[in-house]
Structure 1
């Protein structure tokens, strides 16, 4: 027998899963068992392979994990999931999608597979979105979640070796504990501790100012980084790694921990290119802010403090494949600069925090400077609004959560200066909750929409090992003026691979994932001209509205085609896109059919579509929702990153970019924040 679907009588007794009724939970179990049933192993499988194929969703209690994960979402999101589960309980939907008038859980296994594929390929956006909710969660959790002994039934077969427990290490910072409703006073309060907030806090504290830093996430250091994929997403990322655009068209990765995105990014350190700076100057109407010497001096100061270099840009296997493949085609290929020291290809887990202290995040640099010069740091602190009196910022109202006691306390900060550096998603939300009415707050959102072409190679690549990002190609960075894309690589651990790998059937998916160690990923990082918005829901939380524009999709399509060619030039046997419908090409097809095979693949990529939830797309770069400009009618912040019309209120993060940066934005954020900090010092 090929498939055995064994679902134990797991129920929703877990408090975090109790929001689902028993009949709803049974549908969720059936979904998980369709994605991940017990399968007969291939002939001559060894013990690890047999364990891998026989493992099912029920072995990891996948439905319960998903219910608990979704249970942490807001009321509207949970209501959407329940409506989707109700749809799957309807016989009419079964007739429409699987040709059988029965609820999903009552269908045969093959009918359930057909049902899910019909959702994935549906012309109805809501069905595609629903499919992606369950496919991404099941794929990630099945491959990323360890059992109580710290192992996953897939890892040995995938040749994946997780890190051991974190070593004993000192915790160099001691955040301030808020045990009761409190009022604090300072010169400057900084909301956010990442690339923008960390720099400003350090600069102001070094200048002798009384600084308080508020961080929404917790405090994790070398002593806490487990380097386990599932744990890191929950501990270090906004919304536990589930953040996405409202329609789920783009999965968004953003740091939420002390040190912000600088804790989880991949160390890539580009200065903003001169042509982009010139464009920003023209768009903003701000002479010398972007093209003057002051910003270049700030870049140099930041680069020195966070030790940017190329000595630690030795290529791991998949970076070398990108470099070699691009060079073989005559394309630009270069090593990129990184803010890391003594990497030595030891891990490959930069996205889960740096256990060895190599990454020069704000936690190790500017926040440490601030702390040593008297700054107070408060974690698990959500800033609700800025206090404004007679056109001047006077402080912040916030809530501090204590995860140990599960209690919250009110906190009011009285300050002469407020620096909002909560990131492109949350900074506009704070301004809107504060009653500001500038129509550009939350508009002009840019995400650098990104997708991937995977290449399967004849030898192991281990895309999760070594320096995560060290090579790039800018061959197509200027397809249309300053707009195009970069080719880079993305480190991929099993959970992220499980989330992204297309699912055409349970067995084919399991087989595809079994080759994970042989996979290399090339990402197409587009500089988007299209824009989105950040608005507030009825609870005052940010909602991301973004659909990749037709202009940007054309660049993405161009990049998918070129990345495939780079893979084959580097020696890949097969390439595949992340489209729901099958888009793949083998070396045998190219050898047998030549250019005809390429033409067919190019048409296949275009025909299978780049629309919402037809192709998995990601964003690790968010920019533009509080953009800088001379005219208050066209922008939110001025030449000094001060909010138009409000003295003493500054925004210092990627949201001030007048347009997308076109490069990994960390250094752009830090340079602009450093420049703004020099002005803020004079106002204090």
Structure 2
């Protein structure tokens, strides 16, 4: 592997909208208003419904918001978007896609809708990719963006209640301030504060070690959680929740705040299944690391510290539908364990931070432990590279950004041990920027590719209310050996629903979204056998290359079919996929001719495609890019999560998994990090 010593250009500010010309921004406005024009309301509509239909994208300045979002992308992605807009300005493209010679902005609304649908269904991957960028961002922002008074013109019609402002409560810790270029000393520096980094920091600090924690995101606690979807995505997620694979084929949710993914995840707390641990042992060649008693002891310690239980797994309406529908069909269904206390079905916004302090994230547990033992926690801090001397880690070079002034300060941290816990996407990037040449760094990326089937119900479900994820089915977890999928329930708020709901025309889409209070969504979470990789762009930032394999697509397809059956068993009147082409089935069709209806729907799902940007695929689980193993030629880290050949350099996050976990990975990450921390204590 070629050695790289490049660093991410963290001083590059977001460019706002000025990277687009005036004509490009105007074209983007017309595109957004094509997705969301002002429409004539249905006869007899209520005032809220009238507002819902008459609102248009430009009322919320969607084009400007999209331009600002894409302004955070690198030059290569922005160049692709310039080319897309140039294509839409070409009259020849209008003839090809809409049957009318003319630039996009010269066409009628009807012709523009035809144009966009032709892009969505095109055989050209670049057109589908461009369509998905435009549709997903506009769909999310139209339904998630509040006006200056904190409300969105759609919410009342959707029967969606906005959260009240955050309470005025004390912040439980105070980050260490960096106001100038600085040099710091410590025993251990931990890069990242989520499920892995938080645990290691807490364990080392409690053992009396001098610890510094570096967090790329900011510090947000109960006093800061607005619970507003758009604001929360910006505050708490990588790239404001717009992160995707290079080809836009997989939408990726990853936490970027103090506490990492444990702040925004859905509390699901599975131990790694014994069969997976046995497989990891065989794959890695590491005897007893995964199957021995030590890891189980670490799981037990973690479960006690973060209060994992089922007492807080009462089902909201959406989870109850999955549970009841699966049981009706004779499928496995059970309640899952969660790291939360005192939930009481109060909100449904854990993905935006827990305002009530119920979620036992690392921020409330291990990081608080570390802070109380004197650990210094630095936020808005991006690790550039690891300092190495004679195959030994001796510190970290980082940049701290002041979000108020925009000023940047260089920080050099000298440490006896460096723990990289920046997550599966950024940990390999840090290793690569530091000049490490192991060919497996960044390889073997697993994402648990996930899609959904939605069911419409006669009564209101309110999929955004109550405990977000409490029921699951493992009926199909072993379709092919240890590979298959779980059926679970996601919390869905208007923005996420707007992003995922297929657009078949402006009025059809608005009519569909008007019924989301009646919607329940089941996710098909696959254990992927296929792999991707992390590479670096010219600024040293990670690029995610991943395409869902044919093997894994078959499991997605199987899961979509089974999720539809569970919906109908639970009482749904209609089911629909999130494919670009319409795939849906109604109870009337089943009642008329059940066998024929199911055969037609099953074929429709397959025919309408599961390929890149034909079906929206999500990932909230990233694993495997610095995998553990006995052989340095086949892995990155050893039995203790130490990087092969580099003394004092450890990786403690989901990137060390030898393969996908097959379950929500938080507890797996924490257990392995806890186990590694016991060894690190001895070495310090």
TM-score (ref. length: structure 1): 0.98
The Cα shift of 1:72 comes to 2.1
Q: How many angstroms apart in 2 are the aligned matches of 1:77 and 1:381? A: 24
Q: How many angstroms apart in 2 are the aligned matches of 1:62 and 1:369? A: 43
Task: Find out whether 1:536 has 2:536 as its counterpart.
Answer: yes
- Name the residue aligned to 1:578: 578
Q: How many angstroms apart in 2 are the aligned matches of 1:69 and 1:659? A: 33
The Cα shift of 1:76 comes to 1.7
Secondary structure of 1:419's counterpart equals strand
Moved more, 149-158 or 69-78: 69-78
Q: How many angstroms apart in 2 are the aligned matches of 1:184 and 1:172? A: 24
- Name the residue aligned to 1:494: 494
Secondary structure of 1:425's counterpart equals coil
User: Any residues of structure 2 matched to 1:119-134 within 5 Å, and which?
Assistant: 119-134=119-134
User: Any residues of structure 2 matched to 1:347-496 within 5 Å, and which?
Assistant: 347-496=347-496
Q: How many angstroms apart in 1 are the aligned matches of 2:260 and 2:65? A: 26
- Name the residue aligned to 1:187: 187
User: Any residues of structure 2 matched to 1:252-267 within 5 Å, and which?
Assistant: 252-267=252-267
- Name the residue aligned to 1:301: 301
Secondary structure of 1:321's counterpart equals helix
Q: How many angstroms apart in 2 are the aligned matches of 1:417 and 1:588? A: 64
Q: How many angstroms apart in 1 are the aligned matches of 2:242 and 2:320? A: 31
Q: How many angstroms apart in 2 are the aligned matches of 1:323 and 1:578? A: 22
- Contact conserved, 2:186 with 2:413, CA < 8 A, in 1? yes
Secondary structure of 1:424's counterpart equals coil
Q: How many angstroms apart in 2 are the aligned matches of 1:246 and 1:19? A: 20
Q: How many angstroms apart in 2 are the aligned matches of 1:159 and 1:626? A: 45
Task: Find out whether 1:610 has 2:610 as its counterpart.
Answer: yes
Q: How many angstroms apart in 1 are the aligned matches of 2:545 and 2:72? A: 21
C-alpha offsets along residues 121-158 of structure 1, whole Å, 9 cap, x if unaligned? 00000000000000000000000000001110100000
User: Any residues of structure 2 matched to 1:202-213 within 5 Å, and which?
Assistant: 202-213=202-213
Cα gap change, 1:15/1:274 in structure 2, threshold over 3 Å: closer, same or farther?
Answer: closer
The Cα shift of 1:386 comes to 0.5
Q: How many angstroms apart in 1 are the aligned matches of 2:373 and 2:61? A: 48
- Contact conserved, 2:15 with 2:71, CA < 8 A, in 1? no
- Name the residue aligned to 1:86: 86
C-alpha offsets along residues 84-138 of structure 1, whole Å, 9 cap, x if unaligned? 1111000111111011110001001100000000000000000000000000000
C-alpha offsets along residues 357-409 of structure 1, whole Å, 9 cap, x if unaligned? 00000000000000000100000000010011001000000000001111000
Q: How many angstroms apart in 2 are the aligned matches of 1:109 and 1:121? A: 19
User: Any residues of structure 2 matched to 1:584-603 within 5 Å, and which?
Assistant: 584-603=584-603
- Name the residue aligned to 1:17: 17
Moved more, 332-341 or 56-65: 56-65
Moved more, 68-77 or 280-289: 68-77
Q: How many angstroms apart in 2 are the aligned matches of 1:25 and 1:363? A: 41
Task: Find out whether 1:624 has 2:624 as its counterpart.
Answer: yes
Q: How many angstroms apart in 2 are the aligned matches of 1:681 and 1:73? A: 40
User: Any residues of structure 2 matched to 1:102-141 within 5 Å, and which?
Assistant: 102-141=102-141
Secondary structure of 1:423's counterpart equals coil
Q: How many angstroms apart in 1 are the aligned matches of 2:377 and 2:16? A: 30
- Contact conserved, 2:445 with 2:622, CA < 8 A, in 1? yes
Q: How many angstroms apart in 1 are the aligned matches of 2:162 and 2:590? A: 37
Q: How many angstroms apart in 1 are the aligned matches of 2:35 and 2:355? A: 34
Q: How many angstroms apart in 1 are the aligned matches of 2:355 and 2:15? A: 33
- Name the residue aligned to 1:682: 682
Q: How many angstroms apart in 1 are the aligned matches of 2:250 and 2:457? A: 28
- Name the residue aligned to 2:664: 664
C-alpha offsets along residues 53-95 of structure 1, whole Å, 9 cap, x if unaligned? 0010111111111112211222222211111111100011111
User: Any residues of structure 2 matched to 1:89-238 within 5 Å, and which?
Assistant: 89-238=89-238
Q: How many angstroms apart in 1 are the aligned matches of 2:285 and 2:601? A: 44
C-alpha offsets along residues 15-70 of structure 1, whole Å, 9 cap, x if unaligned? 72111111111110110010000000011111111110001011111111111221
C-alpha offsets along residues 231-261 of structure 1, whole Å, 9 cap, x if unaligned? 0000000011111100000000000000000
Number of residue pairs matched by the alignment: 671
Q: Return structure 1 stretches of 4+ with deviation > 3 angstroms.
A: none
Secondary structure of 1:235's counterpart equals helix
Unaligned runs of 5+ in 2: 1-13
TM-score (ref. length: structure 2): 0.98
Q: How many angstroms apart in 1 are the aligned matches of 2:452 and 2:334? A: 20
Secondary structure of 1:39's counterpart equals coil
Q: How many angstroms apart in 1 are the aligned matches of 2:217 and 2:48? A: 38
- Name the residue aligned to 2:268: 268
The Cα shift of 1:594 comes to 1.0
Q: How many angstroms apart in 2 are the aligned matches of 1:645 and 1:598? A: 56
